[in-house]
Amino acid sequence: MLRAAGSAAVSRGPRPAPAPGAPPALRLSGLSYRYPDGTPGLSGVDLDVAEGEILGVLGPNGAGKSTLTRLLNGLLRGEGTIDVFGERLTDATVRSVRARVGLLFANPDDQLFSPTVLDDVAYAPLYQGLDAGEVRERARAALAAVGMAGHEQRAPHRLSLGERKRVAIATVLSMRPEILVLDEPTASLAPAARHDLIELMRRLPQTQVVATHDLSMARDLATRVVVLDRGRVAADGPAGELLGDLPLLRAHGLEPAPGGPPGRSRGA
């Protein structure tokens, strides 16, 4: 069992802007997936995600949002191609791609299974074979980034849902991914915890793909949104523009967000 060695945290600043002509953070080409019973989950999805972008993936239940998140780091394998900063996701590259694309499940309990918070956050870097000093540094930095420094020895099952979501994000950040893929991150959170989580996500420097049916969060966080319906891309554009198109949203089973300025950008 790991124990924290001090409280200093290493912060990670935003990456520099991509060089002209650099590949997108993510490129999906003809991405399709069928469930074991033959039901289509995704059909011919073509999508580029720029480095530093916060992309909201919207859609009603059954639209294919969660399926997409699991395809992005190889938990599910479909047809078509996925490129991560120009690296093709294949059987040979899946391990390196997973180090670059961190996945947060909708239920944090799916990612928290150790006796203490520190053990959970340290698990992935330990599994990668990093030395103990590097593991502790990464774990402390990740916990500091999500506002959970000082909670290293707490039992995850005794944390609130909002705290468990933060620790689950820290388990992903400890791998220092370049892309975060988050599946329904605000689901079931109380208003205060939801607000705090959105503020945390806004501060993180990584490229983010956020699957959600929470249109208020998409309005407050995303720079761009994609609407999925029955596994296909039904709309793609700037967050403010698409989230203000009430007929479009309702045509695809989405309830417009309550009033407020749409499309607030990162750092606002």
Residue-wise pLDDT tens digits, 168-194: 999 999 999 999 999 999 999 999 999
Alpha-carbon gap, residue 99 to 175, rounded angstroms:
6
Residue-wise pLDDT tens digits, 158-171: 999 999 999 999 99
3-state secondary structure of 223: coil
Is residue 85 predicted with pLDDT exceeding 50? yes
Give the per-residue pLDDT at 128: 87
Ranges of each domain in the chain? 26-107+178-251
Give the per-residue pLDDT at 17: 57
DSSP assignment string, 6-72? -------PPPPPPPTTPPPSEEEEEEEEE-TTS-EEEEEEEEEE-TT-EEEEE--TTSSHHHHHHHH
Residue-wise pLDDT tens digits, 205-240: 999 999 998 999 999 999 999 999 999 999 999 999
Is residue 11 predicted with pLDDT exceeding 90? no
Q: How many Å is the maximal CA-CA distance in the chain?
A: 55
Over residues 46-53, the mean pLDDT reads: 97
Is residue 61 predicted with pLDDT exceeding 60? yes
DSSP state of 147: T
Give the per-residue pLDDT at 15: 42
What topology is assigned to 26-107+178-251 in CATH? Rossmann fold (3.40.50)
Residue carrying structure tokens 């580029």: 48
Alpha-carbon gap, residue 96 to 179, rounded angstroms:
13
Tell the burial category of 73 from Cβ atoms under 10 Å away from its Cβ (0-12, 13-18, 19+). buried
Token code pair at residue 67: 């399926």
